[in-house]
Amino acid sequence: MMKQQFRIGVGTVSLLNIVVVFLFAIVAVLALVSARADGRLTEKTMETTAAYYQAEGAVQKKLAEIDASLQRGEDPSAQIEGVTKTTDRYLLLESMGNGNSLLVEFIEEGLTYRIVRYYVKAAENWQPQDEPALWDGQ
């Protein structure tokens, strides 16, 4: 009985090598792309956080002015920029850049104010930066 000898043909190693290098290249590129995307997200988060605290600082300075204005018995909406009066409350709007704003709603209580809402108002006309092309199901 003849034993069949196992042999690697010419080109098999090359083919295997190309496949392995190709797979490694894909993993390396994916790792780099992912790290870069994380970097962009980190920068964006840092910018947004800095803008929020900047706007909050401006709001606090205006609240000091509002408090002084109410102490004097004056209407803050007539004197301080960004303050508007509705039927039952005042609104203080401070821009955070990128379309978002910090909105403070407060009511007059005697000669001072009481904050009833303090939140970030997202831009109404917000659009995603890149609209992904999604499969429409057809």
Partner 1 sequence: MQRKNLILPELLVNVLFFALAAAILVQVFALAYSEGLKNRVKTEAMLRVQNVVEEVKADPCSAETVLLAAGFQTGHGRIFCSYDAEWNAAANGRYEISLELRQTPAETGHLFEIAVACTDLELEETMASLSTSVYQRGAG
User: What residue ranges bind partner 1 (CB under 8 A)?
Assistant: 8-11, 13-14, 17, 20-21, 24-25, 28-29, 31-32, 34-36, 38-39, 42, 45-46, 49-50, 53-54, 56-58, 60-61, 63-64, 67-68, 71, 112
> CB 61 → partner 1: shortest distance, Å?
6
- Compare residues 6 and 135 and give the one whose CB is closer to partner 1: 6
Tell me, what DSSP letter sits at residue 61?
H
Separation of alpha carbons 75 and 31, rounded Å: 58
> CB 119 → partner 1: shortest distance, Å?
16
Separation of alpha carbons 89 and 104, rounded Å: 10
Length of the chain measured in residues: 138
How far CA 132 is from CA of 45, 94, 127, in Å, comes to 21, 32, 12
> CB 80 → partner 1: shortest distance, Å?
13
> CB 9 → partner 1: shortest distance, Å?
8
Separation of alpha carbons 103 and 95, rounded Å: 9
